[in-house]
Amino acid sequence: MNAENVKQKKVAVTVTDDSAARDKRATERKPGSRAPGFIRKSSLLRLGWQVGIFVVGLAVVGSGVAMLVLPGPGWLVIFGGMAIWATEFAWAQIVLRWTRRKVTEAAQRALDPKVRRRNIILTTTGLAIIAALTGIYLWKFGIVVPGDIQW
């Protein structure tokens, strides 16, 4: 019975290692086009495909940039446009991988207890300063309503 448990553990470890390696290969593909085979065979179709991908990605990235100043999820849409470009252009795949790596590192740093504690202390201090300055302003000047509005 003990030998059987050892075999099961070895099988479980082997399956886990294989799936981890497969996941790493899936996320770290070689940069290049993911266009269908019949499009890659024809240079005219390939050029049209690349132009189409570029125009659609540009529209999405442009709308994301507009959403940085307008209401909407600007950065999320920009990264979506980069993902569209990454289906065809190697430079976009490299930029997207770099961005994904940096976001993951930042998320890991943010989860560090020391960093969280520091951020909470800084936020609380900043809010206390803003509240004190607002209180001083209201004590000195009161609420001044612009125009002829009567309270």
For range 109-132, the mean pLDDT: 92
Percent of the chain with pLDDT over 70: 70
Q: Find where tokens 């005219």 sit.
A: 44
For range 101-124, the mean pLDDT: 89
Spatial contact of 34 and 88, defined as CB atoms under 8 Å apart: yes
Tell whether the torsion through CA atoms of 16, 22, 24 and 26 is positive or negative. negative
Angle between helices 74-86 and 43-69 (to 10 degrees): 170
Alpha carbon of 34 to those of 40, 41, 93, 117: distances in Å? 9, 13, 11, 44
Q: Using one digit for the tens of pLDDT, what is the confidence trace for 121-151?
A: 999 999 999 999 999 999 998 887 767 666 5
Determine the pLDDT at residue 96: 87
- More confident position, 78 or 18: 78
Determine the pLDDT at residue 11: 47
The whole-model pTM stands at: 0.51
Count Cβ neighbours within 10 Å for each residue of 99-124 and write b for 16 or more, e otherwise. eeeeeeeeeeeeeeeeeeeeeeeeee
User: What type of residue is 2?
Assistant: N
Determine the pLDDT at residue 12: 46
CA separation for the pair 104, 67 (Å, rounded)? 24
Q: Using one digit for the tens of pLDDT, what is the confidence trace for 55-88?
A: 999 999 999 999 989 888 888 899 899 888 888 8
State the DSSP code for 71: S
Alpha carbon of 68 to those of 20, 33, 58: distances in Å? 37, 29, 15
- More confident position, 119 or 132: 132
Determine the pLDDT at residue 90: 84
